[in-house]
Structure 1
Amino acid sequence: MPQNIVVGHRQLMAEAEAEVESIDAADAVAVLGQPNVAIIDIRDPREIEREGRIPGSFHAPRGMLEFWVDPESPYHKPIFAEKKKFIIHCASGWRSLLATQVLQRMGLKPVVNLKGGFAAWKEAGGPVEKVEKK
């Protein structure tokens, strides 16, 4: 018997869009390197190896994000305790939109979604650095 999915990805994303702030890629490119901004890449490591990354971005795999943000988690990463504006991105902005919603609910602020993700970043002429396979 097939599953009866009652809330699909489109509804989840529409709800998240109503709750979170997003930043356009051109505006994100303009703040790259500012000390009060942290760009968080939640893509899979294989995506980063294949496509490259935003210089200076911090990689936090989507599957560990909540645990890395929570200061009470044994997996907490100190970057998430810093007073910065967090710009979350994935490849196209879908995963990061939902992740931004969760991080906002957790109390991380300010936190914004990079609208259009890494694809929009590249289209806006943002710098990309190659990443060597591990």
Structure 2
Amino acid sequence: METQNLKLNKSTEIIDQISVDKLEEIINNHEYTIIDVRGPKGIKNQGAIPGAINVPFDDVEMELDSRNSNPNSLFNREGSFLFCCTGGVMSYVAAIKAKENGIKNVFNLEGGHSAWKKLREPVNEEI
């Protein structure tokens, strides 16, 4: 799978970026848990990637903290986690938080939901 590495200036963690053209394969193979960190308003206005689970950015740390006391926590699932947001920045930060909390196989959607939507819904080029 084609990925690109990015590193946030203040973090030592590197998160692999998954390109939007690989997202359809990811959706179909169900090996990834897709976590959308946008708020409910963003999802209502822009829609969501099929199968994505909404965990607003402000709730990610709480969800990570609960995994030790809650065996049913989202982050106790097997497999890989793909984070997404509108443009890929907030989800990248959430992915770093997950990795710093011991979650393995953490990825970020390059370009976020906006890139996915653009690929899935062609831009009207009429002038």
TM over 0.5: yes
Give, in angstroms, the shift of residue 72 of structure 1: 2.9
Aligned length: 114
Over the residues paired in the alignment, what is the CA RMSD in angstroms?
2.3
1:52-72, CA deviations, whole angstroms, 9 ceiling, x for partnerless residues?
111111000100102112313
Q: One-letter code of the match for 2:51?
A: G
Instruction: Give me the whole-angstrom Cα distance separating, in 1, the residues matched to 2:86 and 2:12.
Output: 17
Aligned to 1:102: 97
Paired with 1:65 and 1:18, the residues of 2 have a C-alpha distance of 17
1:35-74 matches, within 5 Å, as: 35-70=30-65, 71-72=67-68
C-alpha distance in 2 between matches for 1:106 and 1:120: 28
How far apart in 2 are the matches of 1:116 and 1:89?
Answer: 9
Deviation of the 1:36 alpha carbon: 1.7
Alignment-mate amino acid for residue 72 of structure 1: N
SS at match of 1:124: helix
Amino acid at match of 1:81: N
1:81-133 deviations in whole A, cap 9, x for unaligned?
1112110000000111111111111111111011100001112228xxxxxxx
* Higher share in strand: 2
With the length of structure 1 as denominator, give the TM-score of the two structures.
0.74
Name structure 2 gaps, 5 residues minimum. 1-6, 122-127
Unpaired runs of at least 5, structure 1: 1-11, 127-134
Q: How far off its partner does 1:20 sit? A: 1.3
Which residue is 2:115 aligned to?
120
What code does the residue aligned with 2:58 have? G
Pair 29,15 (structure 1): closer, same or farther in 2 beyond 3 Å: farther
1:37-82 superposed Cα distances (whole Å, 9 cap, x missing partner): 11100001100000111111100010010211231367x8622111
CA distance in 2, matches of 1:43, 1:60: 7
2: CA distance, partners of 1:15 / 1:29: 32
- In the TM superposition, structure 1's runs of 4+ consecutive aligned residues that sit over 2 Å from their partners are 12-18, 76-79
